[in-house]
A and B are shown apart, each in its own frame.
Chain A
């Protein structure tokens, strides 16, 4: 093992605190009464529910399907009944709820029918679809849908595949324990990745503070029929970051704004590789993961936990203690505080770190930046944290972006070394989310502008069309009038043949006469049809009525006549 290693810039050496949780074996956490399974556990579109309230589901049954390419499915972690599909608290710093499926478990833990997949016989695209439907997502922290990462794309093959066994955050040991106890299965997963990506070089990077994991992975690798190089790398935070691991192992840097695949390298976490092996060789979807429960608890250890298990049950299992000052999901460097402990374990939950005042004394008050540039020396991405802080604080996001804000991996090295205890990373997170929100607003404004302009164009067009229609109508009316004139002339032409002088009044009279004749004809058409065969009695009645009518008519006409006579 004489591979040349490279050193990434910066980094820090925080106290490790790993031994606390590695001294006990992995325990399976008991089945909880209630599982709350969020539909947004991965990057990309949240999954769409495919079950209904009241439906009985089996362990491993898909309860929400992937929605789009960058998405992945979500499964029932145990058998039971769906009792709710609604907003529930999720492990997010905001404390805001999100759509979850709640399952009341029945204790039988009954599996849905599942079988291994013959991945070598399958079309790669079909295999990736299967992985998406098995809910696979990166377990290293970013939770990116694995099926997407396993697509080498049309142009660039991933010649180098790196399996990241670096677990640089203090306190966390779940990857370490996984490598110690499941090295064979991790490497089975690597075989499937190699098959999909066509990689020729496979490297496993493990830090030198995990000798047991190194041994077990090496002996497992020796049994394989393809070459896997297990490399010991020096432990330094954040050496387990994907880009830092790439640099340590290959000496190559991923350019700013690029992906590692752009330089022909793909990186997977050991946990993802293990989950992939379970999915392919056992047909099991991603419904469980290892979680380190450590910090201020009686028995720090790793649990195998069903996704959806409430965090407080794990803390109780590990033995909760008085004097807890808070709980982080993740480690002390990058972890996020949990708003409450009813939130479920999700695919991204690698560690539940219980804090106390002794283990995590509250930070002293932040002081102004003294521009000592210690943060810049510690930054593994070679940024200028003090400048980023200045711009973010002042809301000058344009300048922050010019200083490569989006290359910041939020590792926290800068905050860790800052003598003024400035929570630098909080400022970068704030600036990033502000910039995203602005971009969203900008897109909305562009859409509104477009739609407004289209509306104006449409109104203009409608006005024009209306005017044209009106003009056409007027034109038609004029043409009709001309035609009528001609017809009248024709009508009048009859008397003209008799030698009488043709005049307009004559034509009019003829028209009126014609109209009268038409009205007469109509009247006779409308004449009563029930007066044909009447009895003499009926005839008599009719005569009487007619007589009355004439009388009334005469009566009515009389004053008129008299009036007429007056003048």
Chain B
């Protein structure tokens, strides 16, 4: 009897030690929920959600301090994904934070640019290259289209150019016509 109790106690202590050790050893860094939310956000870093970037917004959602419908670049689909992740009902985008726009990249009119570096300081992803008093250029492949470089430019030489559809970017469309027909017949 005593031996049995002793064995159980020893076992409990041993398992407790292992658990305690692994809690320290395999500690999860950061906030895993915020991480998951951040993975869904589009990383445009535009701040339209009211936070200085996607990560802070993700953290605010994780803490329950922000709603899931504040990110226009993510669109309805982003809201849907967030709702799915958090197990809540999806809701329409909050218009107060803006509406989704077609994907664009910034373009600097190099004739007008005075090389003031103000846009460089505004770009959240370092997608503008240039130096003081030198003409600046956007690295289109890295531009997220956040529009943050537009207001600081003193000569208004930056414009947003929608990304034109070309062959490598072309997508098969949802066979809408057929869908309509199916819907019709289903309705009938």
Which residue of A has the minimal Cβ distance to B38? A449
- Report how far A365 CA is from B185 CA in the complex, Å: 9
Is B45 in contact with A426, judged by CB distance below 8 angstroms?
no
1/0 contact trace for B123-151 toward A, CB 8 Å? 01111000000000000001010000000
Least distance between A486 CB and chain B CB atoms (Å): 41
Least distance between A259 CB and chain B CB atoms (Å): 23
Q: Does A321 sit at the interface, judged by CB under 8 A? A: no
**Please, which residues of chain A bring their CB within 8 A of the CB of B167?**
40, 90, 92, 94, 96, 98
Is B125 in contact with A448, judged by CB distance below 8 angstroms?
yes
- Count contacts on B: residues with CB < 8 A to the other chain: 31
- Report how far A393 CA is from B171 CA in the complex, Å: 15
1/0 contact trace for B145-178 toward A, CB 8 Å? 0000000000000000000011101111111001
- Count contacts on A: residues with CB < 8 A to the other chain: 34
Chain A contact residues: over half helix, strand or loop, or mixed?
Answer: helix
- Report how far A434 CA is from B125 CA in the complex, Å: 26
Which residue of B has the minimal Cβ distance to A368? B186
Is A451 in contact with B126, judged by CB distance below 8 angstroms?
yes
Least distance between A436 CB and chain B CB atoms (Å): 8
Q: Please indicate which of the listed interface residues A90, A96, A367, A453 has the most CB atoms of chain B within 10 Å of its own CB.
A: A96
1/0 contact trace for A390-427 toward B, CB 8 Å? 00010000000000000000000000000000110011
Chain B contact residues: over half helix, strand or loop, or mixed?
Answer: loop
Q: Considering the complex, which residues of chain B in the window 29-83 have a beta carbon less than 8 Å from any beta carbon of chain A?
A: 38, 41-45, 53-55
Q: Does B4 sit at the interface, judged by CB under 8 A? A: no
Least distance between A386 CB and chain B CB atoms (Å): 14
Is A426 in contact with B172, judged by CB distance below 8 angstroms?
yes
Is B175 in contact with A446, judged by CB distance below 8 angstroms?
no
Q: Does A479 sit at the interface, judged by CB under 8 A? A: no
Q: Does B181 sit at the interface, judged by CB under 8 A? A: yes
**Please, which residues of chain A bring their CB within 8 A of the CB of B53?**
452
Is B182 in contact with A448, judged by CB distance below 8 angstroms?
no
Is B172 in contact with A432, judged by CB distance below 8 angstroms?
yes
- Report how far A393 CA is from B169 CA in the complex, Å: 21
Least distance between B146 CB and chain A CB atoms (Å): 9
Q: Does A433 sit at the interface, judged by CB under 8 A? A: yes
Tell me which of B55, B172, B178 contacts A366 (CB under 8 A).
Answer: B178
Q: Considering the complex, which residues of chain A in the window 441-463 have a beta carbon less than 8 Å from any beta carbon of chain B?
A: 441, 444-449, 451-455, 458
Q: Please indicate which of the listed interface residues B53, B167, B181 has the most CB atoms of chain A within 10 Å of its own CB.
A: B167
Least distance between A535 CB and chain B CB atoms (Å): 55
**Please, which residues of chain A bring their CB within 8 A of the CB of B127?**
451
Beyond the given A366-B181, A455-B124, please list 5 additional residue pairs across the A-B interface where CB-CB is below 8 A: A429-B172, A430-B174, A433-B171, A447-B142, A451-B125
Interchain Cβ contacts under 8 Å between A and B, 13 examples? A94-B167, A94-B170, A96-B165, A365-B185, A423-B178, A430-B175, A433-B170, A434-B172, A447-B142, A448-B142, A452-B53, A453-B55, A455-B124
Q: Which 6 A-B pairs have the closest CB atoms?
A: A445-B43, A448-B43, A451-B125, A430-B172, A426-B175, A433-B172
Task: Please list the residues of chain A having a beta carbon within 8 angstroms of any beta carbon in chain B.
Answer: 40, 90, 92, 94, 96, 98, 365-368, 393, 422-423, 426-427, 429-430, 432-434, 437, 441, 444-449, 451-455, 458
Task: Please list the residues of chain B having a beta carbon within 8 angstroms of any beta carbon in chain A.
Answer: 38, 41-45, 53-55, 124-127, 142, 144, 165-167, 169-175, 178-179, 181-182, 185-186
